[in-house]
Amino acid sequence: MLIKTPKSWALKECDTTPEAVFKQRRHFLKTGAAALAGGLAGGLIGHHAFAAWPKAGEMLANIQKSGFDPGEATTPLKEVSSYNNFYEFGTGKDEPMSQAKDFKTDPWTVEIAGACAKPGRYDFEDLVSPHQLEERIYRHRCVETWSMVVPWVGVPLADVIKRLEPTSKARYVAFETLHDPARMPGQNRAVLQWPYVEGLRMDEALNPLTLLTVGLYGQALPPQNGAPLRLVVPWKYGFKGIKSIVKITFTEDQPPTSWNRSAPHEYGFYANVNPEVSHPRWSQAKERRIGEFFKQDTLPFNGYGEEVEDLYTSMDLHKYF
């Protein structure tokens, strides 16, 4: 499709064009066509923060430190990027690192659908770049009882959602991972129903802790950690943190989630970290921090109770696990 109208922000530039602006405009011309072709509403794109989005392992610019820090030792990048769950690239913890090594994430578009005023196909940078990138050090607790402490980089999901203007019918937000067995070899096996899907209730999605994540340790996400765009929901088990997102849908009904669909009595929709509710096959009372020998107590809501317990006051968390 031919693009005739330049973006509104591109018109606002003054006569001196610094190199960075020139580069980001060129980048827009390269990638913006897909977004417009998909029906992007005018005026939604902010300024790109980058001439080109950094590749995995390259440093991200303009990251603001945040107050989110549990004050615990962070897990070395080497561990965070070599001990992974990402079944699209194998079920072994060491497989995603090797199998996702050449995974291409540029260009990357995200389809926005459902009950909102700004549906369409967006270049992922256009979803993220207008917002301030933040570093947030979060505890990361897997349902299999290992844990890490990770300095993620991202933007509050709430900021992005607000710009997409969900309607009053939007009670949930559904997320979908790329489905492309040629690029994701694990999808040639039916270990899960593909694509991987996840969901949050709207108030969970809007909670300030929920981070739409593009990096870790100041760098663009390595493929095995969900490049270029993943979710991080620190008070929930790790499987809610869906990786390599290509679609976000605002829904009226609770969306299906991969692990709940696969084993409903083992994995609930909520998946809040809860030391009092055992997994049918193991206790959730303790966890092993990667790199440490002794187990430690698991905290309710993974230690984020103050921030999130109001979301669940009227709910029986044994029933809604």
Ligand X SMILES: Nc1nc2c(c(=O)[nH]1)N[C@H]1C(S)=C(S)[C@@H](COP(=O)(O)O)O[C@H]1N2
Question: Minimal CA–CA distance to 178: which of 233, 114, 230?
Answer: 230
Shortest distance, position 279 Cβ to ligand X, whole Å: 13
Residue 238 lies near ligand X (rule: CB under 6 A)? yes
Sheet holding 109-114, edge to edge: 120-123, 109-114, 245-251, 172-177, 197-201
Cβ nearer to ligand X, comparing 28 with 87: 87
Which one of 71-79, 201-209, 242-250, 310-318 is the stretch in contact with ligand X (CB under 6 A)? Answer: 242-250
Residue 31 lies near ligand X (rule: CB under 6 A)? no
Q: Of these partners, ligand X, Mo ion, none, which one is at the site of residue 108 (CB under 5 to 8 Å by kind)?
A: none
Q: Are 155 and 212 in contact (CB under 8 A)?
A: yes
Q: Of these partners, ligand X, Mo ion, none, which one is at the site of residue 49 (CB under 5 to 8 Å by kind)?
A: none
Q: Are 310 and 168 in contact (CB under 8 A)?
A: no
Instruction: Please identify which residue in the block is written with the tokens 């998946």.
Output: 271
Contacts of 216 (CB under 8 A, 6+ apart): 77, 80, 81, 150, 151, 152, 153, 222, 225
Q: Of these partners, ligand X, Mo ion, none, which one is at the site of residue 86 (CB under 5 to 8 Å by kind)?
A: ligand X
# of chain residues touching ligand X (CB under 6 A) = 17
Q: How far apart are CA 209 and CA 232, in angstroms?
A: 9
Shortest distance, position 273 Cβ to ligand X, whole Å: 12
DSSP state of 152: E
- Interaction mask 216-235, ligand X, x per CB under 6 A: ---------xx---------
Shortest distance, position 163 Cβ to ligand X, whole Å: 24
Cβ nearer to ligand X, comparing 40 with 209: 209
Task: Answer left, alpha or beta for residue 211, where phi above 0 means left and psi between -120 and 50 means alpha.
Answer: beta
Q: How far apart are CA 169 and CA 191, in angstroms?
A: 33
Cβ nearer to Mo ion, comparing 252 with 266: 266
Q: How far apart are CA 296 and CA 288, in angstroms?
A: 6
Q: How far from 49 is each of 33, 128, 248, 250, CA to CA, in Å?
A: 18, 9, 22, 27
Cβ nearer to ligand X, comparing 88 with 125: 88
Shortest distance, position 225 Cβ to ligand X, whole Å: 4
Shortest distance, position 238 Cβ to Mo ion, whole Å: 4
Instruction: Please identify which residue in the block is written with the tokens 């990786």.
Output: 243
Q: How far apart are CA 43 and CA 220, in angstroms?
A: 26
- Interaction mask 37-76, ligand X, x per CB under 6 A: ----------------------------------------
Residue 241 lies near ligand X (rule: CB under 6 A)? yes
Shortest distance, position 26 Cβ to ligand X, whole Å: 32
Candidate list 174, 211, 242, 271; residue touching ligand X; CB under 6 A: 242
Cβ nearer to ligand X, comparing 196 with 321: 196
Task: Give the type of residue at 299.
Answer: L
Which one of 60-68, 84-92, 260-268, 269-277 is the stretch in contact with ligand X (CB under 6 A)? Answer: 84-92
Q: Which ranges of the chain does DSSP label H, i.e. alpha helix?
A: 8-11, 19-37, 77-80, 95-99, 124-128, 157-164, 202-206, 258-262, 305-308
Cβ nearer to ligand X, comparing 8 with 283: 283
Candidate list 24, 75, 109, 177; residue touching ligand X; CB under 6 A: 177
DSSP string, 258-304: HHHHH-TTTS-SS-B--TTS-BTTB--SEEEETT-SS-EEPPGGGGT
Q: Of these partners, ligand X, Mo ion, none, which one is at the site of residue 87 (CB under 5 to 8 Å by kind)?
A: ligand X
Q: Which residues of this protein are in contact with ligand X, per CB under 6 A?
A: 84-88, 140, 142, 177, 196, 225-226, 238-239, 241-244
